Amino acid sequence: MSLMEGYCNLSKKELKERGDLHDASKYEPPEIEPYIWLTWYHHCKHCNIDFKYPDGVEKLVKEGCDHHLHCNRHHPESHSDPNEMSVLDIVEMVCDWSAISQELNQGSCINYVKQHISKWSFSNEKLNFIFKTITEFDNRYNNKNHK
């Protein structure tokens, strides 16, 4: 997240503080066990290993993911109206999407976002800001890695 220092006047301190808390809930109940299972599921899928959740675990994973989405400000689901997300919330969300896209060797998160953004009811103004933030992140990331 430090890559976005100065964007919309975000300070290094507030980005670091948010980054230090990012996804901390995944390391405590009720999320830790579901996320261990979910991580294993995706590992098996990536490695073409046949895997099926044991009885009851799929429900546990869904409940853990739902808890995570509703308790972390960088997820639109944690807001009664996703348009209430702050600049810092949006920047963290874009950094999160970008990290996942890079982890999956997909480059920018732009295609993922275009395919999935309609599941949230963002205003046009907020959508424009999200896409502007993705472009800014991509530019900063590419400039950092091509120096």
For the stretch 2-24, pLDDT in tens is 999 999 999 999 999 999 999 99
pLDDT given at position 115: 95
User: Per residue in 107-144, pLDDT tens?
Assistant: 999 999 999 999 999 999 999 999 999 999 999 999 98
In tens, the pLDDT along 54-83 reads: 999 999 999 999 999 999 999 999 999 999
**Where along the chain do its domains lie?**
1-22+76-147, 24-71
Assigned token pair, 24: 């901390």
CA–CA separation, 96 and 75 (whole Å)? 10
82 contacts 120 by C-beta, under 8 angstroms: yes
Query: Across the chain, which distance is largest between two alpha carbons, in Å?
Result: 50
Say if residue 104's pLDDT is above 90: no
What is the rounded distance in angstroms from the CA atom of residue 96 to the CA atom of residue 78? 15
- Yes or no: say if 1 and 8 are a contact pair by the CB < 8 Å rule: no
**What is the mean predicted confidence (pLDDT) over 30-51?**
97
